Amino acid sequence: MSTINLRLAVVPHDHVRFCDSVVGLAGRVRSLVRVPKTLDELQNLLGRNDSGWPGQVDFEKLILAVTLLYAIGAVVSVENDRVVAI
């Protein structure tokens, strides 16, 4: 992913829907990790038709969203490669 594409994906603006931005996805992920979950569990939850998330979530964006949350101290890593909200 190029730097320009990464910048466009991180911050929502005129050309990216909020549900397609990493910031929007990070907010949704944070609400899902009140109990510890792995990245695979998060991908499965967000990929379901009844997930309530309007966009498609690819694994790369999910990793970026979790990394963003980790960088700002909103989640921590716990046992068995799971993340949980603080």
What's the pLDDT at 65?
Answer: 93
pLDDT for 30 beyond 90: yes
For residue 21, how many C-alpha atoms fall within 13 Å in the half-sphere facing its CB?
14
- Between 25 and 56, whose confidence is greater? 25
Beta bridge partners of 11: none
What's the pLDDT at 8?
Answer: 58
- Domain count within the chain: 1
Which residues make Cβ contacts (< 8 Å) with residue 27, sequence separation at least 6?
none
Cβ-based burial of 12 (10 A; exposed 0-12, middle 13-18, buried ≥19):
middle
Helix-strand-coil split of the chain, %, nearest 5: 55, 15, 35
Encode pLDDT of 49-74 as tens digits. 887 888 778 899 999 999 999 999 99
Q: Residue 46: which CATH number? A: 1.10.10
Whether the Cβ atoms of residue 83 and residue 66 lie closer than 8 Å to each other: yes
How far, in Å, CA of 80 to CA of 77, rounded?
9
Full domain range(s) for residue 62: 3-85
Full-model pTM: 0.78
